[in-house]
Amino acid sequence: MKEYNCKKILLLLLASMLCLFTACGEKAENRQKLIMVTNATFPPYEFYQGSKIVGIDADMVREIARRNNLELIIEDMAFDSVIAAVQTGKADVAASGITVTEDRKKQIDFTTSYVKADQVIIVRDGSDINGAESLKGRRIGVQHGTTGDTYVTANIGEPDRFQDGALAVASLATGKIDAVVLDSAPAQEHVARNAGLHILPTSLASEEYAMAIRKNRPELLLMFNKTLMDMQLDGTMAAITAKYQGEKTKEHTATQSSGIGSWLAHSFEINFVKDGRWKYLLNGFLVTIEISFCAVLMGLAIGFLVAVIRSTHDQTGRHTVLNILCHLYLTVVRGTPVVVQLLIIYFVIFAAVDVSKVLVAIVAFGVNSGAYVAEIIRSGIMAVDHGQMEAGRSLGLSYGSTMRSVILPQAFKNVLPALGNEFIVLLKETSVCGYIALQDLTKGGDIIRSQTYDAFLPLIAVALIYLIVVVCLSQLLKKLEIHLKKNER
């Protein structure tokens, strides 16, 4: 009877989750969609202008989509994930300043190349580094997964790998590293916006950019190549390139020389007010809260279920099979990092399904948190005096009934501080959402940094917002604790 009930609940949970996924997968389909992935921290090829991703790559694909009557969707993710996204079919095309290499050709097909680019070296003014030879033994920054990374790793030594070029350049500017190896076009943008840096005249390697398309999609490759050729012939390609090459932003030229106060005011203006950049933080904050809240609820549900199954097994020896499953779940989830779980759930488990990324994140963090919540609640159940269960049973209440009305409420109260701790950890852990191109609070700050080339204020702002949320959450939990303690002296 008991076993049957628990299985039924599990099945119901599974079924309702499946329904949720399929519901989210259904979208109105009028025009055929073209999904492009990119890493929008790479001006002038791809970067944010307001909430829109623009740049040479973005405009080029936008034009290709227009000419072929496709609805374009651009998704922003870490550069080291864009090729994986195409490979697994999450996206149709990756256009992200991708250099053509033999290794990458094995993974995906390249369109004809549309840009020639060099890998250049950025150094601080007055640096003694004067070429590739003098890089040996120095600390070199690169953007993770770029050809600069590959080149430095193969020819010079282990570099410091950053999530985006702006972070690498910021590290260089503050003296944490000695040089940055980057593609020439974004390198020029970075140098233009940071005083005290320059590009060495000799470049490291010459290379070509092309767009990446999943293997075995010849019709799509053909369409891209044909349109690219048309655009080259009618001058569209040159026009797009010229538009961005000429556009050098001068917004960050005001320097620290005019005093801390006005520098701060200026920096605040640039980072949060201009182009409505505060919206990245607001929207990111909402995404973070949405994911955290739903994941907490899901984690609680899973946690309670697993804890009850495990304690029931410990106390009565029932549910052996379920107990083994729960044990396996706890071992796997607690034995692997949450960011790896998130990527596996997105790229492997939901590889072929078009689900909302917010949902993927909720599932990943909910499943992850459930394992920790389960053990917390189980410890709470074990801490409840055994006499409570005996009293319930001696009155003729069933095991489940006593658990529900007597044991679990006490267990929950016992572990509230530990649960609060878990919720706080969960909230902050969602900051790795950027790995699957979700714009959460941390990612919002990243986008601002990639636009303003300023590390200080956006990071402080993001940190402050997390801090405020955590303080509010702690206060709420404290109130709940006091409320539940009213029956104690």
Partner 1 sequence: MNADTNILEIQGLAKDFAGHRVIADVSFGVKKGEVVFLLGPSGAGKSTVMRCMNYLESPSAGKVLFHGEPVDTSEHGLNLYRRRVGMVFQHFNLFANLSILDNITLAPTSCGLMKHAEARELALQLLRRIGLEDKAHAYPSQLSGGQKQRVAIVRALAMNPEVLLFDEPTSALDPEMVGEVENLMRELANDGMTMLVVSHDIDFAMELANRIIFLADGKLVADASPAILKNSDNPRIRDFLSLR
Which residues lie near partner 1 (CB under 8 A)?
Answer: 1-2, 385, 387-388, 390-399, 401, 405-406, 409-410, 413, 487-489
Q: How far apart are CA 403 and CA 315, in angstroms?
A: 12
- Find the helix or strand (DSSP H, E) in which 122 lies: strand 115-124
Nearer to partner 1 by Cβ, of 314 and 390: the residue is 390
Query: Considering the complex, what minimum distance in angstroms separates the CB of residue 310 from partner 1?
Result: 19
Asked whether 119 and 184 are in contact (CB, 8 A), the reply is yes
- Find the helix or strand (DSSP H, E) in which 156 lies: none
Nearer to partner 1 by Cβ, of 147 and 414: the residue is 414
Nearer to partner 1 by Cβ, of 218 and 409: the residue is 409
Residue 141, Cβ density class (10 Å: 0-12 exposed, 13-18 middle, ≥19 buried): buried
Nearer to partner 1 by Cβ, of 293 and 399: the residue is 399
Report the Cα 66 to chain-centroid distance in Å.
29
Nearer to partner 1 by Cβ, of 234 and 481: the residue is 481
DSSP 401: H
Q: How far apart are CA 437 and CA 46, in angstroms?
A: 14
The token duo for 366 is: 């909910």
Nearer to partner 1 by Cβ, of 1 and 233: the residue is 1
The token duo for 59 is: 């405009």
Count CB atoms within 10 A of the CB of residue 407.
Answer: 20
Query: Considering the complex, what minimum distance in angstroms separates the CB of residue 373 from partner 1?
Result: 20
The token duo for 144 is: 């993770």
Query: Considering the complex, what minimum distance in angstroms separates the CB of residue 2 from partner 1?
Result: 7
Nearer to partner 1 by Cβ, of 179 and 322: the residue is 322
Query: Considering the complex, what minimum distance in angstroms separates the CB of residue 383 from partner 1?
Result: 12
Query: Considering the complex, what minimum distance in angstroms separates the CB of residue 376 from partner 1?
Result: 18
Nearer to partner 1 by Cβ, of 202 and 316: the residue is 316
Nearer to partner 1 by Cβ, of 202 and 405: the residue is 405
Residue 107: closest CA among 98, 115, 116: 98
Burial 195-208 (b: 16+ CB within 10 A, else e): eebebbeebbbebe
Query: Considering the complex, what minimum distance in angstroms separates the CB of residue 304 from partner 1?
Result: 16
Query: Considering the complex, what minimum distance in angstroms separates the CB of residue 6 from partner 1?
Result: 14
Q: How far apart are CA 261 and CA 209, in angstroms?
A: 43
Helix axes 357-383, 278-316, angle to 10 degrees: 40
Nearer to partner 1 by Cβ, of 103 and 488: the residue is 488
Query: Considering the complex, what minimum distance in angstroms separates the CB of residue 441 from partner 1?
Result: 37
Query: Considering the complex, what minimum distance in angstroms separates the CB of residue 393 from partner 1?
Result: 7
The three-state secondary structure class of 398 is: coil
DSSP string, 416-484: HHHHHHHHHHHHHHGGGGGGGT---HHHHHHHHHHHH---HHHHHHHHHHHHHHHHHHHHHHHHHHHHH
Asked whether 481 and 417 are in contact (CB, 8 A), the reply is yes
| Angle at the Cα of 160 from the Cα atoms of 158 and 162, rounded to 5 degrees | 135
Query: Considering the complex, what minimum distance in angstroms separates the CB of residue 319 from partner 1?
Result: 13
